[in-house]
Amino acid sequence: MTEVLDPWPFVWAAYVAGAGGTLALLGWSWLAMRRAEKRRDEVRQR
């Protein structure tokens, strides 16, 4: 007997992981960059 699964929960989970993970990576990279460049500028002005 073949088990037939509703594909939509799997589709949504993949899209949430893909879009959410990409956004998290983008946000984390942007924050790290802003923090590092701010620190560099502060060190320069000291």
Partner 1 sequence: MHGFANPARFLRLARWLTPSLLAPGVLIASAALIWGLTGAPADRLQGDSVRILYIHVPSAWLGMAGWMAIAGASLAEIVWRHPLAGVAARAAAVPGAFSPALCLLSGSLWGRPAWGTWWVWDGRLTSMLVLLFLYLGYIALADAAARDGGGQSRVAAVFGLVGAVNIPIIHYSVLWWNSLHQPPSISFGGLGGGSSAMAAAFLWPLFAATLGFSLIFGGVVLMRMRTILAGAQAEARLRRKALVREAQA
Binding site for partner 1 (CB under 8 A): 2-3, 5-8, 10-11, 13-15, 17-19, 21-22, 25-26, 29-30, 32-33, 36-37, 39-40, 43-44, 46
Structure token digits, residue 22:
């990409």
Q: What residue type is assigned to position 22 of the chain?
A: T
Rounded to an integer, what distance in angstroms lies between the CA atom of residue 37 and that of residue 19?
Answer: 27
The least distance separating partner 1 from the CB of residue 1, rounded to whole angstroms, comes to: 11
Rounded to an integer, what distance in angstroms lies between the CA atom of residue 13 and that of residue 40?
Answer: 40
The least distance separating partner 1 from the CB of residue 44, rounded to whole angstroms, comes to: 6
The least distance separating partner 1 from the CB of residue 45, rounded to whole angstroms, comes to: 10
